[in-house]
Amino acid sequence: MDSNSLYYSLELVAGTGCTLNIEQKSALQTSLVILKKNYKFHRVLFWGKILGLKGDYYIAQGRGENEMKDTTNLYSFNCMDWFLLPPATHTMIEEVSKTARGRFMGDPSYVYELLEIQRQGEGDDAVEEEVVTKVNEEKRLAVTVHQIDEEVSVVPRSAFIKSPHGLVQMNRSFGGLSHSEAGKLDSFLHLSESKNLKKKSILEMADLNPAIDFLDVLSDDIPKGSWSLQFECASKVCVIRSLLWPGRTFYHVPMTPQHGYIYIGDGTKNLDLPFML
């Protein structure tokens, strides 16, 4: 969620149970301003918190001109000193998904190891070779943040527009969804590279506006029911929680442009989801 609206938007997503205390909130108000200036970001988002066994990671995200592509993630332990996270590459994602297991430790230099035995050759002259893959927790953090952003970033429809040059920016004339629209999952989109859009038929594409509908719709997600949409705060605020990544909470106040999301959780994907619905 945007650092400028942090002081009230945290209250709107507090129904999930997690929040920040006053000390952390006020520290963020100070440090994110400095962060924005030093890194020359267009805007800074407080991305969330990943709970570790020994310490928690606080994560901020800086956005450049292109809201979808120019993102930089940073982490901190005390909400004041921020460290840059490396961008997640394909090899990193592969390594992390193989080795990292269990909960986050809370120590960026903690090393996850995976011992693999690879057989080379055939028959009797097969040579067993032990391959050790080592990944430190900082990399795991970078990959997790990337994956969560990829899979469960939610924006209301038409809150972002894409220019003909491919630049994705906030839509300043976005006035918010109506109450009835906010009650349906198909008025919310994934803020990540679209995957399903090309598969749609011409008939379905007819109603779409290329400037607005360049993203995937939440209601197309598989499995069905991986989102929980509720109205909270005396039924005034539309809150969407991801069941795939428990801890990701999105809020939108209907009829106002206010929207945002946060992640407060242990940084593990809910792979048991098919059993749990």
Residue 203 interacts with another protein (CB under 8 A)? no
Residue 242 · residue 218 · CB < 8 Å? no
Residue 53 interacts with another protein (CB under 8 A)? yes
3-state SS record for 86-122: CCCCHHHHHHHHHHCCCCCCCCCCCEEEEEEEEEECC
Least distance to another protein from the beta carbon of 271, Å? 5
Residues 6+ apart with CB under 8 A from 238: 177, 182, 183, 229, 230, 231, 251, 252, 253, 254
Least distance to another protein from the beta carbon of 243, Å? 7
Site track for another protein across 155-194, x = CB under 8 A? ------------------------x---------------
Among 2, 4, 5, 18, which residue interacts with another protein (rule: CB under 8 A)? 18
Q: Which range of residues in 11-19, 115-123, 127-135, 195-203 is near another protein by CB under 8 A?
A: 11-19
Site track for another protein across 58-97, x = CB under 8 A? --------------------x-------------------
Place of tokens 């994602």: 93
Residue 48 interacts with another protein (CB under 8 A)? no
Least distance to another protein from the beta carbon of 12, Å? 8
Least distance to another protein from the beta carbon of 239, Å? 10
Residues 6+ apart with CB under 8 A from 60: 3, 28, 32, 35, 44, 45, 46, 47, 73, 74, 75, 76, 82
The per-residue b/e assignment along 89-123, b for 16 or more CB within 10 angstroms, e otherwise, is eeebbebbeebbeeebbbebebebeeeeeeeeeee
Interaction site with another protein (CB under 8 A): 11-12, 14-24, 51, 53-55, 78, 101-103, 179, 225, 228, 230-236, 241, 243, 246, 265-266, 271-272, 275-277
